[in-house]
Homo-oligomer: A and B are copies of this chain.
């Protein structure tokens, strides 16, 4: 196997891309640093030069994923508030569907207890919360009840998504519908359409 000549940044990105692919296909336990190195055509030693452990490698992949999901779920302030929220939810559900093993690893076992990884996930959720508050014409620190509603709703979405990816008992549309029903109970007057919009 010949090693491609890449700059350190390119090499790092290449390793992260290969890792993200593997972690999106298999449980955390079944991904091996050695295989990532082999697919990249680099030595195990070089791999460890970039990432000191499998956990560090995974944390770096989570960092990239968090940036991506925040970009993918960026609300468009020109849209009605309902659409901003449903588009954000749909982008999140799409991300989860395409990255089930990683989302599973993030939500259970030792990785879910890892402080650095938890902090990244919590920061992402805090940003989603802030965006929803802004879309609703509010903001952090302005309306404690609304803020707690959205904080609770995000916890709701996360719990239901875990059920979705841990069992075969729910469809993506059912998850979406549940999330929107809970949100309507909190802030809505039935104005957010819960029927079938997610099937597109």
Report the bound CA distance from A182 to B158 in whole Å.
Answer: 15
Contact, CB under 8 Å: B175 / A185: no
- From known contacts A181-B186, A186-B181, infer whether A160 and B151 are also in contact, taking CB-CB under 8 Å: yes
A103: Cβ under 8 A from any B Cβ: no
Contact, CB under 8 Å: B170 / A159: no
Find chain B residues with CB under 8 A from A149 CB: 160, 178, 182
A167: Cβ under 8 A from any B Cβ: yes
Find chain B residues with CB under 8 A from A167 CB: 144
Contact, CB under 8 Å: B152 / A178: yes
A184: Cβ under 8 A from any B Cβ: yes
Interface size grouping (class) on chain A: 20 to 34
In this complex, what residue of B is CB-closest to A145?
Answer: B174
A161-189: CB near B (< 8 Å → 1, else 0) gives 00110010110001100100111111010
A51: Cβ under 8 A from any B Cβ: no
Find chain B residues with CB under 8 A from A115 CB: 113
Find chain B residues with CB under 8 A from A151 CB: 159-160, 163
Report the bound CA distance from A149 to B155 in whole Å.
Answer: 12
A128-148: CB near B (< 8 Å → 1, else 0) gives 000000000000000011011
The residues of A with any CB-CB pair to B shorter than 8 Å are: 113-115, 118, 144-145, 147-149, 151-160, 163-164, 167, 169-170, 174-175, 178, 181-186, 188
Q: What are the 10 A-B residue pairs with the smallest beta carbon separation, nearest first?
A: A185-B185, A144-B169, A155-B159, A113-B113, A152-B156, A155-B155, A152-B160, A148-B163, A156-B156, A152-B159
What would 30 A/B residue contacts be, using CB atoms closer than 8 Å? A113-B113, A113-B114, A113-B115, A113-B118, A144-B169, A144-B170, A144-B174, A145-B170, A145-B174, A145-B178, A147-B169, A148-B163, A148-B174, A148-B175, A148-B178, A149-B178, A152-B155, A152-B156, A152-B159, A152-B163, A152-B178, A153-B156, A153-B182, A154-B159, A155-B158, A156-B156, A156-B159, A178-B186, A182-B186, A185-B188
